[in-house]
Chain A
Amino acid sequence: MINKYQITDNNIISDTMNKIIEDLYKKQKLMPDLLIRKIKVNLFNYVYIICNEGLSSSKNINDFILRYLSSNNYKSLANIPSINSKEINEDEILFYVLNGFACVIENDNIFAFEMRSEIDRGVTEPTSEPTIRGSKDSFTENYQKNIGLIRKRIKTDKLKLEEITIGTDTKTKVGIFYIKDLSDYSLVTKVKNELNNVKSKNLIDSNNLRELLINEHSSIMPVLKSSELPNNAARYLLDGRIIICLENSPSILIIPSFFIDFFKNNEDYNVKPVFASFIRIVRLIAFFLAIYLPALYIALTNFDQEIIPNSLLVNFALQRVNVAFPSIIEMFILLFAFEILHEGDSKIPNSVGSSMSILGALVLGDAAVSAGLISPIIVIIVAACSICSLLFIYHDMQGVIRFYRYFFMILSCTFGIIGLLIGTLVFLIHICNLKTFDIPYLTPLVPLRKKELNDSIIRNNSFKEKRKPFMRSE
């Protein structure tokens, strides 16, 4: 291509460069944070530096690019010292600028140098998965840091990372981590294919990605577990799972996730196996209590009173003497009030939270009972089942508990204990039938895989023995 050179202000600027700069100036009108700087490098030559004010670090540009350009040693752009630099074409300028690169244009040559500014919060303590004795770092919004946090824990070249970009507008980088020889490669391929098939304009967070994966739609149950703990990510990788890491998202996705994974907590691995197993059994019981308690109360007190022991029945009846509403309505009122309280408490700033809980406790717990709106036993039932549901730090599981609680309540309001049994059957059939990436959701309980029960409900000492990775057992 023959370039025409024109002399302006005693300088020589190529036509191509002129055109590019004109285009960029046009774009700058609606992108004021785009910086275009014209710098004279010698008597005849000018270079243009294009970068984004927020995404690039001006200090780095000053230190590395400008200092070099203004020195007497300057020969060509390719010699600018940078750990991450590449020659690009004119269409790629904006993409690199928006990724924190500084682009330098000299005649026909365009180079991009990585000059990212640190616009993340740094590695902080986890907020959604509090740890007591485990490591206290958590994933951040910085993709590179997240990768580093995982690599720091697994120092082997078998840890593979494959990257793809999703989102026509957001162009979000998605990293697929797996360990060669431990993970099932057919599953890796399946995940990659599924991610490649995701057609979305915008992908902001890892939680958006869950919705875009086909699997998640099939059920109300969460089939993808997310975590913000690098320890968790490393543990699952070593278990043969696949980790999906997303740009700008402080949590990773674990593929495949099973029902029993939601009963595990990072802290389980920092206590003796006996205590960890005990607390997992407690969680499992709490899960069923949270789902069943209100429905069971309604079924027993409204339909099948003969099941309740005599003394308990008399106590229940005594407490209901001056209550105006039927117990079904009472239960719905109080559960609805709790939902409002819970939603308010989790979303409002801390300063208002305490006054809210006082109001909630006083108004709902005490005044409503004295006013004869609800009976004390209903308060106990709702409080017990709510506390049980709060045991689950994974929000998806709380949603599941809420859904099935109301589902069972409606059934027991209608058919009593028989309705409850029908509901239980539906629930069991549903989760037994569920698959996550073609693997049964209840693995390793149904179908029973004895060797993998090591770390399901009962945790054996998994560090001592040479345990088979989860996914390669077949």
Chain B
Amino acid sequence: MKKVILLLIILLTSGCYNQEEINDLAIVNAIGIDYIDNEFKVSVSIINFKDEKENTIVLSSNGKTVESALNKLNDSFDRRIYIDQLKLLLINKEALKLKPVESINYLVNYPSAGISFLVSSVEDNTESILKIITTNSLSVTTIIDILNNSELYGSFHSKVTFDMFLNSVISNNTSIILPVLEINDKNIGTIDKEKTFIINKEIIINNNHTINYLEGNENIGYNLLKNKDVITNTLTIPCDENYFTIYLKEIKSSINPINNNEFDIKIKAKSSISDYNCKTTTNENRIKNDIETEIKKIINKTILKSINTKTDFIGFGNILYSKNYQFYKTLNKDYEQYYLDNIKYNVNVNITLNKFGNLNNNLNNLGDDLYK
């Protein structure tokens, strides 16, 4: 009994040394990192619940390192800056170009923040993006939802989590690719606040810190090459004066090295015609042909982008690393500069069309073809 009493006294009097109430924490949802004038500028979006209502405050501070800037923030706020619940990391273009490793070093060394938060890049400064959240009474979740939505249902700009980003930063075989978050000026102040931000392109940075962008439907090519089966990969293809739209699903792609410089690219997908407005009557094989040609065109464009910008965002280096290591060992760290120019590739596209039909009855004879 004496032991129990002693234990109770010890537990009740000595404990709770690192106890901290949740309302004493400044919960940081998003961090923005800029690199201006040889200094890091760190902006944080803090959830404020002083008035029993959720709103956000944006604080920013400068420092030689990210951590020193974050520590300075504690001087100007009444609660401890708590980044364990981080949801979003925004990195400015300059910081990505000049100090990619230094920008994320602190977050790598601070494991309780996790690795599953999203990373996005910003053209100008991150503080202005975060301030829009405050002024428009939005939350960081809005940006996260936009990033998710864009990947799944929008223009298929792949979202990047911190672990993927970290991998591309420290790896020599792949270059950094991040969606670019921009302010959608047209909609500011309107009722439709969800569209305050927009993702139009993806930033790609090679090992030589050269910045380029994936624009138009290059990101579809990227998705196809990277075997990313997003929910609605739609393609709009021209025919006579009009267009028809298909969506691709169950995409299976593979890139295999034939020899040191030549790659065999195979893409297999199922597609359905979702919107057919062409006037001329056509049949299934012609449509399939059109789709395959269009896909080949997109892939060519994407690979050419990689070759022209000397940025291996498709990951040819990675493929060689895993499938032709002997040759990979002969490549230098900046293989992007000389190797990509010599690349040859064959593209095989195999599309199965499994849904068709329209109001104009132009596709009717498709059915006849199938039964013949």
Taking Cβ atoms with an 8 Å cutoff, the residues of A that contact B are 301-303, 305-306, 310-311, 313-314, 316-318, 320-323, 326-328, 410-411, 413-416
Contact = CB atoms under 8 A, between A and B. Distances in A.
Nearest to A323: B23
Contacts of A320: 21-23
B189 interface: no
Interface in B29-51: 29, 47, 49-50
A316 B29 CA distance: 16
A313 B87 CA distance: 13
A303 B20 contact: yes
B83 to A, nearest CB: 9
A415 B18 CA distance: 9
A184 to B, nearest CB: 36
Interface stretch (B8-16, B89-97, B155-163, B264-272): B8-16
B84 interface: yes
Contacts of B22: 301-302, 305, 313, 316-317, 320
Contact of B25 (A311, A317, A322, A416): A317
Given A310-B87, A410-B12, A302 B20 contact: yes
17 contacts: A301-B21, A306-B84, A306-B113, A311-B141, A313-B85, A314-B27, A314-B54, A317-B27, A317-B47, A318-B54, A320-B22, A321-B49, A410-B8, A410-B11, A413-B16, A414-B15, A416-B18
Given A305-B85, A318-B49, 8 more contacts: A305-B22, A305-B25, A322-B52, A326-B19, A410-B8, A413-B19, A414-B12, A414-B16
Closest 9 CB pairs of A and B: A414-B15, A306-B84, A320-B23, A317-B22, A318-B49, A302-B19, A317-B23, A306-B112, A310-B85
A328 B16 contact: yes
A327 B84 contact: no
B328 interface: no
Nearest to B20: A302
Contacts of A306: 84-85, 112-114
Contacts of A303: 18-20
Contacts of A321: 23, 49-50, 52
A413 B16 CA distance: 6
B48 to A, nearest CB: 10
A323 to B, nearest CB: 8
Counting chain A CB atoms within 10 Å of each CB, the highest count among B21, B29, B52, B114 belongs to: B21
B82 interface: yes
Contacts of B112: 306
Nearest to A316: B22
Nearest to B79: A317
Interface string B68-95: 0000000000000010110100000000
B161 to A, nearest CB: 15
